[in-house]
Amino acid sequence: MIVAYSSFIKNQLLIDGEWCLSADEKTFAVVNPATGEPIAQVANATPADATRAIDAAVRAQITWAEKAANERSRLLRCWFDLVMQNQEALAQLLTLEQGKPLAEARAEIAYGASYIEWFAEEAKRIYGDVIPPLANNQRIHVIKQPVGVVAAITPWNFPCAMLARKLAPALAAGCAVVAKPAAETPLSALALAQLALEAGIPAGVINILPSAHAQAIGVEFTTNTHVRKLSFTGSTAVGKTLIAQCAPGVKRITLELGGNAPFIVFDDADLDAAVAGAIAAKFRNAGQTCVCANRFYIHQSVYDLFCQKLTAGMQALKLGNGFDDEVTVGPLISLRAKEKVQGFVDDAVRRGARIAFQTPIQNSFQAHPAGHGAQDNFFAPTVLVDVTQDARLACEEIFGPVIGLIPFATEVQAIQLANASDYGLAAYFYTRDTNRIKRLCDQLQTGMVGVNTGLISNAAAPFGGIKQSGWGREGSRYGLDDYLDIKYLCETFS
């Protein structure tokens, strides 16, 4: 493999268009989760750095918002072109710090870039309105304006796409951004920002603050009155903390939080398609995806056959270092994540479940002497049968490559089970019955529904959840709304 990513390794903060050290000049380590090998020491932003970045964003936002929509669109399009021209290098960097297989990393770069392209186009379509007045000496106009400075906090599972999904609509709307990527994966965010600068996006419009002081940076983002909006993707627990911190300042907030997606297979489903969908929806990113299928409800009459076909399909999965071309499932992000997933499996087994299949673990992983031991982070894709509805893996987000199969008897029961969750991000179901499709689409309590498909993410579609899975939508024409204020102008004539 030709190593292309080295010129993209940036290890400083980006504030006001300048690469700089943190105020206390301290750094933290970024480690390859597949090998334990250190990749870089990265500047560790402090709250004082966050304040400085917010001040820079306040200045930059004024001139950025004054630019013609066409000009913002052109710069976003240049950025998209640069990201795609450097797709391979960015993908390698992503695999290096996040662990996902290179093919998936390439797809994530393209997926993240698709939001930049989409919002480059939407930037020109921020329409207002003219409303018929109640009195004929009045004219009612509605205009849309950027909310101002946006703070963004993103997770490690899609370090490029989750950030692009916030930066692109914010910039299209005329906002400037201060962003804190996850401490595990700051390099992809810094590389994306470097390309934004090269594309001509002005200094201060994008500021990136890698930091291992998440809580303190979060406090600055939520309490600084110059920040007009927070956009957060991450766990529901942290989302709730941020809501509380934003409350005193009544700060606008978009939340893309955790999920617990049901995956329902009816007796009339195309089982081969359902198996392919299950594998796609579960094992992408080693199961560390917010829209991952989490609970598998299989009609009792096809339960055994589905399990047989699923385990046969899983023979093709290969666990290993994402840089190996044949690998389809990489490591989990950390040893802590692995222990959590193992805890779910142990809990299900204690409640009567049985392990029906586990992908063999190769012995070829090499631990780096300075690391924590490569094999530590790898979790073999696993299928459990006879899982009970009260098992933790049916109630909580697994975030790992584990499938627990639960039988059901009737459509009504399947819908009840699917809706028996505090989360409401995504749901999937497989059936050939068109009337049933309508009933489930109407009744499933989630923000997104995959019908006979396990893959639903798309820049043209509104991504987001209901219940405790979040507020607001990213992508699509709706994705701009969160970055815009509506202003009503009442013109009165004599």
Chain residues that interact with ligand NAP, rule: CB under 6 A: 153-158, 162, 180, 182-184, 212, 214-215, 218, 233-235, 238, 241, 256-259, 290, 397, 425, 465, 470
Q: How far apart are CA 108 and CA 111, in angstroms?
A: 5
CB of 183 to ligand NAP, least distance (A): 3
CB of 85 to ligand NAP, least distance (A): 26
Residue (72 or 166) nearer to ligand NAP, CB = 166
Phi and psi, residue 356, nearest 5° = -95, -25
Active-site residue, 292 included? no
| Owner of token pair 């071309």 | 325
CB of 289 to ligand NAP, least distance (A): 7
Helices (H), 285-406: 303-313, 335-350, 392-395
CB of 383 to ligand NAP, least distance (A): 22
Phi and psi, residue 426, nearest 5° = -130, 160
Neighbour tally for 254: CB within 10 Å: 23
Contacts of 380 (CB under 8 A, 6+ apart): 319, 358, 359, 360, 361, 401
12: burial class by Cβ within 10 Å (0-12, 13-18, 19+)? middle
With beta carbons less than 8 A apart as the criterion, state whether 420 and 445 touch. no
Residue (401 or 407) nearer to ligand NAP, CB = 401
With beta carbons less than 8 A apart as the criterion, state whether 116 and 164 touch. yes
Catalytic pick from 290, 292, 411, 474?
290
Residue (78 or 182) nearer to ligand NAP, CB = 182
Residue (22 or 154) nearer to ligand NAP, CB = 154
Catalytic pick from 104, 117, 256, 474?
256
Which stretches of 371-434 are assigned E, i.e. beta strand?
A: 382-385, 402-408, 423-424, 426-430
Tokens encoding 156 = 């490690």
Active-site residue, 160 included? no
Tokens encoding 149 = 């400075």
CB of 259 to ligand NAP, least distance (A): 5
Residue (397 or 411) nearer to ligand NAP, CB = 397
CB of 188 to ligand NAP, least distance (A): 12
Residue (112 or 465) nearer to ligand NAP, CB = 465
Q: How far apart are CA 223 and CA 416, in angstroms?
A: 40
Q: How far apart are CA 187 and CA 178, in angstroms?
A: 16
Give the CB-nearest residue to ligand NAP: 218
List the catalytic residues: 256, 290
